[in-house]
Amino acid sequence: MNFVIHITGIVQGVGFRPFIYRAAAKFDLKGFVRNSGNIGVEIVVNGNQSSIEQFIQYIKENKPVISKIYSILVQKEETEKEFSEFVILPSIKSKGDSIVLPPDIAICEECLRDFRNPQIKRYYGYPFIACSECGPRFTTVKDLPYDRPLTTMIEFPFCKECLAEYSNPSDRRYHAQTFACSTCGPRYTLYDNDGTEFEGIKPFNTAAKLINEGHVLALMGIGGVHLVCIPTDEAVLKMRKRKRKRKYKPFAVMAPSIEKIRSFATITPNEEAILTSFRRPIVLLDKKKDFPLSKHISPGLNNIGAFLPYAGIHYLLFDNVDHPALIMTSGNRSNIPMAITRENVLEDLQEMADYFLLHDRKIYQRCDDSVLLMIQEKETIIRRSRGYVPEHVDTAFPVPELTVLALGPELHSTISVLKKGRIFPSQHVGDVTSLETLEFLKSTAKHFLHLLQIKKPQLIACDFNPVFNSTKLGFEFLERYGTNLVQVQHHHAHLCSLMNEHKISHDEEIMGILLDGVGLGDDRNGWGGEILLGTYADYRRLGQLEYHAMPGGDRCVYYPVRMMASILSKKYNSEELHERINQDYLDGLPHGVQELNVLINQLYDNAKVVQTSGMGRVLDALSALLGICYERTYEGEPAIRLDHKAQLGNPNKFKFELPVVKNKHEIIQTTPLLHKCLQLKQDSNSIVDIAASAIKCLSLAIADLAIEKALEKGIRKIGLSGGCSYNRLIVKTIKDRVEAHELTFLQHEKVPPGDAGISIGQAIHGAAYLTYF
């Protein structure tokens, strides 16, 4: 009697089949294991039933940490065939199968033990140590199938010892495509600022000594380059000065252990589980009250981004560093993708780094660190990149034969490719506002199409805004492929991404609350405070925040006093507003009285300016009004600083009346909110209490309107998406209100709620558009 076992799910890389081989040997089972395309993994064994049951239980409890098992189906097979051994058979491949390519995986515990063991000379202290269950994957792959000759490791032929391990099914390095040892693998070299090589030294020991002395090091890693320095005031300020446009944007820190992170941040059990996972993302953690690191790491914020080493590279560095953590920030010039060749790193970062620790293994795909935080005990991803990409997201409804290329928005951009019911989001690309980043976006799209063997996507999906470079690229691809193109309204894409994550059916409507800075609406105004009733294919706008003018356009984003002035201009005449700003807020206008005069003229002379309903703009204005932030030096800064002040306040201290005006749909008036906040501030009330109360009351007004509309339409699900979904008070307030009405609240957990998740929404909208309409 044989037993046929089908395991379905994501089986990362080639480590799963050797694991099954070793498990079968443990229980003295004979048969075979092989990959079976989209079905999953097929195992056929014969043996006694007790051993097979133990075997299955062992698989469930001891599978590699990088594997995901959705189901195990066991069938008895009547046959006389007996197996004499257990073997690993070649994979069954059917034309057009979707790929399962694993992300880059943090160093595993077994490799770390080899790395620390002086008896294993080939791996002792070797920075590129890896096995079938850990190490680089995505960043090295040029083509499929995932075999060493099609990775950047082709330039490093195996030594005899490595080849023996690679060929032995009992060894955990069996068919590990990207491992090597100190005999045959890549090496590091230390350079000075002129590109001169250090000779006769131990590169990591010398690099650590230089870091301890306060120098900035450019460290080439798995998928790019970090700029590294110690977390002292002097070193951090030096880093900020050299990064130029990094005036206040927070830096992340890497620490060698959880214990070291606990010395400067608080960690919940869920946060610890994420920090120590094979993904090793940056996690935003609350700072300890007596924060021992430099105050310039994350100025004005209550949290700090921290992560753990994910390669031997980092452990070698920390072995000789005298500090509990190191600043680790992306090694790139502002709005330019990271350099990934030694020559380009030396050239691009010459003005930023004092020394360069670089290796000779090519990085085929740059890949930034992933970033997330916990909100309401749920993972909320800010940047989905290293450790996650290129894992796919399943479509909520079947689209087996459709291919879609989605190109994302303009900021925090990613691309996504849909094939055979799977959406493959790319790594973080960034703000597509430079030619270099546009080229990165284009090359990323081509690489994913190539890996997925798509010669011509059936549909191109892009943003509704015609001025975005990503939209222009969509039309370029349209001309190249001669296919279809659909432009997706920004907030509808947010909603579609959320719906797909929660497996909403193709014909089900949900109520969406979409809150962010801006996205072009179908009335050609800037949207960002929206209540939409939608399916994947279409939507209706049922509510919004009040429109406000943006005098000077994007200048309001960078100098939020302008946005504050715009809102207050509806309550004060020109002389009153001029006097108020001149007296209390002139520091928020770089050109002083001259700029103020022009601003007042713009506001009261009925000049035609951009209108916005963006929640982000209201929060920016409130941040300026309370004196928290007058200049945006990084994306979302005024609203983020406002959020962190509000975390210190009492959200129930003050109440606000926010009228709802009926037009084509309901419009929540936000002018009274700022007017009362100004009065409260003038009466010397606590800034943190005003901030917390204002955010809570505004969130309640939005939730109440969404609930009212949902009940009117018989809708039982209300979801929240958009960049403001990173604000904990907003999420908690809306969630509590929705659930108090016994409605289901949906929030993101697996894909970013911000613009990094837009391409997923574009892809699934495109699939629905072609499939059902």
Instruction: Check whether the bond before 118 is cis (ω within 30° of 0).
Output: no
Options 2, 17, 137, 562, the catalytic residue: 17
Contact of 201 with 190, CB cutoff 8 Å: yes
Q: Which residues partner with 5 through β-bridges?
A: 43, 74
Closest CA to 355 of 190, 158, 551: 190
* CA 303/CA 453 separation, integer angstroms: 43
Q: State the SS3 of 16-52.
A: HHHHHHHHHHHCCCEEEEEEEHHHCEEEEEECCHHHH
Residues 6+ positions from 61 with CB-CB distance below 8 Å:
none
Q: Phi and psi dihedrals of 104, rounded to 5?
A: -70, 130
Shortest CA distance to 491 belongs to which of 401, 409, 374? Answer: 409
Q: Answer whether 103's CB lies under 8 Å from 426's CB.
A: no
Q: Which residues contact 256 (CB under 8 A, 6 or more apart)?
A: 308, 309, 314, 315, 318, 321
The residue behind tokens 């209540």 is 531
CB 753 within 8 A of CB 380: yes
State how far the Cα of 530 lies from the Cα of 521, in Å rounded to an integer.
10
- Angstrom distance (rounded) from CA 498 to CA 731: 14
Q: How many residues does the structure list for the chain? A: 773
Give the C-alpha separation, 89 to 658, whole Å. Answer: 67
Do residues 292 and 300 touch, judged by C-beta distance below 8 A?
no
Please say if 137 is a catalytic residue: no
> What is d(CA 465, CA 536) in angstroms, rounded to the nearest whole number?
19
Nearest residue to 531 via CA among 763, 410, 761, 708: 708
Q: Annotated catalytic, 35?
A: yes
The values of phi and psi at residue 600, to 5°, are -60, -40
Tokens of 424: 């493959």
> d(Cα 158, Cα 175) in Å, to the nearest integer?
12
CA distances (Å), 516 to each of 389, 540, 613, 725, in order? 25, 18, 9, 8
- CA dihedral in degrees (441, 149, 191, 203; nearest 10)? 120
Mapping DSSP onto H, E and C, the string for 234-281 reads HHHHHHHHHHCCCCCCCCEEECCCHHHHHCCECCCHHHHHHHCCCCCC
SS3 702: helix
Q: What is the CA 650 to chain-centroid distance, rounded?
A: 31
Compute the distance between CA of residue 69 and CA of residue 43 in angstroms, rounded to an integer: 14
At how many degrees (to 10) do helices 49-62 and 16-26 cross?
140
Are 485 and 457 a contacting pair, CB within 8 Å? no
Compute the distance between CA of residue 765 and CA of residue 333 in angstroms, rounded to an integer: 35
Q: CA-CA distance, 434 to 762, in Å (whole number)?
A: 22
Distance CA 661, CA 669 (A): 7
Q: What 8-state DSSP symbol labels residue 522?
A: T
Q: What is the DSSP string of 109-161?
A: HHHHHHHH-TTSTTTTT-TT--BTTBB--GGGB-SSS--GGGBGGGGS---HH
Using only the alpha carbons of the chain, give its radius of gyration.
28
Catalytic residue from among 2, 22, 34, 35: 35
Amino acid at the residue 203 = P
* Longest CA pairwise span in the chain (Å): 97
CB–CB of 492/769 below 8 Å?
no
User: Which residues carry out catalysis?
Assistant: 17, 35
